[in-house]
Amino acid sequence: MPRNASESFSFIRGCKALRILVIVFVTGAMIFASAPLANAQQGGVAGATAQVDQVAQRAGVGSTDLLSIIGRVINVFLSLCGIILLGLILYAGYLWMTAGGDGSKVEKAKTYIRNAVIGLVIIASAFAIVRFVMNMLGDVAGGGGITTGTTIGGFVGSSGSLGGGIIESHYPPRDATDVPRNVGIIVTFKRPIALRSIIQDYNDGGTPADRADDTVTEGVNDAVVQIFRTNGGVDARLLSNQVRVRFTDDRRTFVFRPVDPLGSASENVGYTVALNAGASGVLFEDGTPAFGARFGDGYRWNFETNTLIDTEPPRLIGMFPRAGTRVDRNAIIQLFFNEAMDPTAVTGNTATGFTNISVLASSANVDGTYAISNEYRVVEFVPSLQCGVNTCGEAMYCLPDGGPDMEGIAHAATIEGTGPAAQFLAAGYDGAVDVAGNSLDGNADGTTQGRGLDDASWRFGLTNNINLDPPTVELTYPPASEADAGRSNVDPFEPLRVRFDSVLQGSTWNTTNGTIVPNEPAAYDDTFWWSTGQSLLTDANDPVASLADIPAKSEAYIRHRMYVTSTMYDPFLFSGIRNAYQNCFNPARSTECAGSPNCCLNRPSRADCSFTP
């Protein structure tokens, strides 16, 4: 123990000096660590790292990086300071209690306590600084948290294929947390994928669209699709017999369902999903690699599971048309769920026997196709009867004429025992289920009764009219007008948002029709990603949260990798965007700009707008 109060105070000054030293060190280390990576090519970094790891393993050298070692040393030293300060407080308490009325001893005890508290604050702040900066350094160096893969300029590589490449969407989203252990992993591609490259030993007989002659298997091709605990590395990936794979009829969306729950019942666990590239990676149906040269390292993302099993059944929070209303016959049917659904259970074509959802006209089944969108939370039915073209010259499809009584039915699935888990039958699920395999709670009573008893149904009517009103932009964030100061100093993490005056056809609000051009160095191509989704709003611009709310508008959004400071980003909305009446968006007009004939940066213009695709 220190012999006097001044000695204890000198020790506190020593800890304070340590904090200053820590700040100077980590600041310099950050500059040193990030500078070479900012200009490094991804392949070079990955290759160099692999060579160093191989040499280290053969030499028997540990694989812990220098930053981690330095961080541990600093943390240990700060911990020792904390222990000594605790001893000071205990010693001061002893002096005070044994002072026996001696004022000098009481004053000395007070000095010890005061200095110890000051030291505690200094050490706590130093510890916080160390944790923050070391985490930042870990991200720059490609480690830390649940991040895996190479980095470029501090950004994680192997991620640009989402939006800018072949990946349309996936679930769980990038860096998602609090994910239930019984989650199904979903990936949607922009083109049909060769089944043999995703599913081990699957053979489509050379006729991908005809499944009658297929040699059917279910195990994941674990050399191409790798699911593993992030801290365990790819060698600890789930093997072919540990993951079952199902896919949608268009062979673009795949659901990977682990046989056993992921993670742990006692702690959160980080996971990585890697989709590998090259001639032996993910392939198109013609045998060519799905990941182009710009994204030659494939795609990977991370998420974190919680300790729980999802036993909450999904429910409907809205539908279009609403029950009891009449709509024009070129309306599509939309079902809005409160959570992500299993695409293999809620999509299909009536021509191939899909019956998990039904649309009836005067009790007769209406032919058409069911598709999923909006981060797997919206299912849409488009009838097969063509009835004209929209203002963009695209085919428009209609429900039956003559004003028949219409009925929509979303069937619950057959359940295991008392549920909520649905039975996974030979042909898959026989009703709507969420990504955890829980059957639909059609009557929204919080429990599941299974197919028939728990179906959700509603009735509506049709007119004989065709609605040709296009969707119009009401509001954007960041603002579209150059005069608006809100275009600068934008939050680098904030999603881009566009509010339309009507509900969108979710399948058309995708990463092709809503894009962001980053204007960053080419070396950053495989780091910048974006994904799309929409929120439903009422006429009063309030969120739709239940069946009592009437959907009237869509607030479309684009999530993205964080922006780089002092860099211009160009969002583009294309005419492929449609509303629920299949009318296309006209990029040359908005509620604030009628277009004369064009609308450039939200201002009327008779000249063509400059365009950078």
pLDDT digits (tens, 9 = 90+) for 109-143: 888 888 878 887 887 777 777 666 655 554 444 33
Whether 383 has a pLDDT exceeding 50, the answer reads yes
Return phi, psi of residue 475, to 5°. -160, 145
Give the pLDDT of residue 12. Answer: 47
> pLDDT of 527-560, one tens digit each?
999 999 999 999 999 999 888 898 999 999 999 9
List the one residue out of 91, 61, 82 whose CA is nearest residue 19: 82
Task: Determine the 3-state secondary structure of 69 from DSSP.
Answer: helix
pLDDT interval class at 601 (50, 70, 90):
low
> pLDDT of 68-78, one tens digit each?
566 667 767 77
CA 7 to the chain's CA centroid: 55
Q: What percent of the chain has pLDDT over 90?
A: 62
Give the pLDDT of residue 562. Answer: 94
Give the pLDDT of residue 41. Answer: 36
Average pLDDT across the chain, whole number: 84
Whether 235 has a pLDDT exceeding 60, the answer reads yes
> pLDDT of 337-376, one tens digit each?
999 999 999 999 999 999 999 999 999 999 999 999 999 9
* Mean pLDDT of the region 182-210: 97
* Angle (CA) 60 222 165, round 5°: 105
Q: Which of 20-34, 440-454, 596-610 has the highest mean pLDDT?
A: 440-454
Return phi, psi of residue 149, to 5°. 95, 175
Give the pLDDT of residue 591. Answer: 56
* Mean pLDDT of the region 180-203: 98
Whether 269 has a pLDDT exceeding 80, the answer reads yes
Q: How many residues does the chain have?
A: 613
Give the pLDDT of residue 22. Answer: 52
* Mean pLDDT of the region 173-184: 97
Whether 390 has a pLDDT exceeding 70, the answer reads yes
Determine if the peptide bond prior to 180 is cis (ω within 30°).
Answer: no
Structure tokens of 349? 């074509």
Question: Measured between alpha carbons, how far is residue 441 from residues 178, 421, 434 in Å?
Answer: 22, 11, 10
What DSSP string describes 100-144? TT-HHHHHHHHHHHHHHHHHHHHHHHHHHHHHHHHHHHHHHTT-S
Give the pLDDT of residue 89. Answer: 84
Structure tokens of 470? 């296009």
pLDDT interval class at 20 (50, 70, 90):
low
Determine if the peptide bond prior to 321 is cis (ω within 30°).
Answer: yes
The segment(s) of the chain belonging to CATH 2.60.40.1220 are 155-305, 316-462
CA dihedral angle for residue 79, residue 84, residue 89, residue 95, rounded to 10 degrees: 170
> pLDDT of 273-288, one tens digit each?
999 999 999 999 999 9
CATH number of 155-305: 2.60.40.1220
Give the pLDDT of residue 45. Answer: 38
86 versus 437: which is more confidently predicted?
437
**Going by DSSP bridges, is the β-strand pair 386-389/395-397 parallel, antiparallel, or unpaired?**
antiparallel
Q: Which residue has the tokens 């990086």?
A: 65
Question: Measured between alpha carbons, how far is residue 263 from residues 174, 180, 311, 392 in Å?
Answer: 17, 9, 16, 49
Residue 447 is classified by DSSP as S
> pLDDT of 489-527, one tens digit each?
889 999 999 999 999 999 999 999 999 999 999 889 999
* Angle (CA) 298 494 500, round 5°: 100
Q: Which residue has the tokens 């790819």?
A: 234
Q: Which distant-in-sequence residues (6+ apart) come within 8 Å of 354 by Cβ?
A: 347, 348, 370
pLDDT interval class at 28 (50, 70, 90):
low
Q: Which of 89-98, 116-125, 300-309, 344-353 comes out lowest in average pLDDT? A: 116-125
Residue 213 is classified by DSSP as G
Give the pLDDT of residue 70. Answer: 67
pLDDT interval class at 598 (50, 70, 90):
low
**Going by DSSP bridges, is the β-strand pair 530-537/155-156 parallel, antiparallel, or unpaired?**
unpaired
* Mean pLDDT of the region 9-24: 51
Question: Could you tell me which residues are beta bridge partners of residue 301?
Answer: 273
pLDDT interval class at 44 (50, 70, 90):
very low
Whether 27 has a pLDDT exceeding 60, the answer reads no
Q: Are 431 and 424 in contact (CB under 8 A)?
A: no
List the one residue out of 559, 572, 571, 584 whose CA is nearest residue 502: 584
Give the pLDDT of residue 425. Answer: 84
List the one residue out of 30, 20, 18, 270 whose CA is nearest residue 136: 30
**Going by DSSP bridges, is the β-strand pair 299-305/176-179 parallel, antiparallel, or unpaired?**
parallel
In this structure, the number of other CB atoms found within 10 A of the CB of residue 308 comes to: 15
* Angle (CA) 434 439 445, round 5°: 110
Whether 30 has a pLDDT exceeding 60, the answer reads no
Q: Which distant-in-sequence residues (6+ apart) come within 8 Å of 449 by Cβ?
A: 412, 415, 419, 443
pLDDT interval class at 483 (50, 70, 90):
low
Q: Which distant-in-sequence residues (6+ apart) come within 8 Å of 577 by Cβ?
A: 471, 504, 508, 509, 513, 514, 584, 585
Whether 394 has a pLDDT exceeding 80, the answer reads yes
List the one residue out of 84, 88, 82, 86 whose CA is nearest residue 112: 88
Give the pLDDT of residue 85. Answer: 78
Determine if the peptide bond prior to 521 is cis (ω within 30°).
Answer: no
d(CA 435, CA 439): 10
Fold classified for 316-462? Immunoglobulin-like (2.60.40)
Whether 424 has a pLDDT exceeding 50, the answer reads yes
Give the pLDDT of residue 202. Answer: 97
d(CA 334, CA 351): 19
pLDDT interval class at 38 (50, 70, 90):
very low
Q: What percent of the chain has pLDDT over 70?
A: 79
Q: Which of 246-250, 468-472, 541-545, 606-610 comes out lowest in average pLDDT? A: 606-610
Q: Which residue has the tokens 């911990």?
A: 79
Task: Determine the 3-state secondary structure of 224 from DSSP.
Answer: coil
In this structure, the number of other CB atoms found within 10 A of the CB of residue 38 comes to: 15
Return phi, psi of residue 58, to 5°. -65, -30
Q: Are 551 and 503 in contact (CB under 8 A)?
A: yes
d(CA 164, CA 514): 11
Q: Are 298 and 282 in contact (CB under 8 A)?
A: yes
Q: Are 593 and 474 in contact (CB under 8 A)?
A: no
pLDDT interval class at 488 (50, 70, 90):
confident
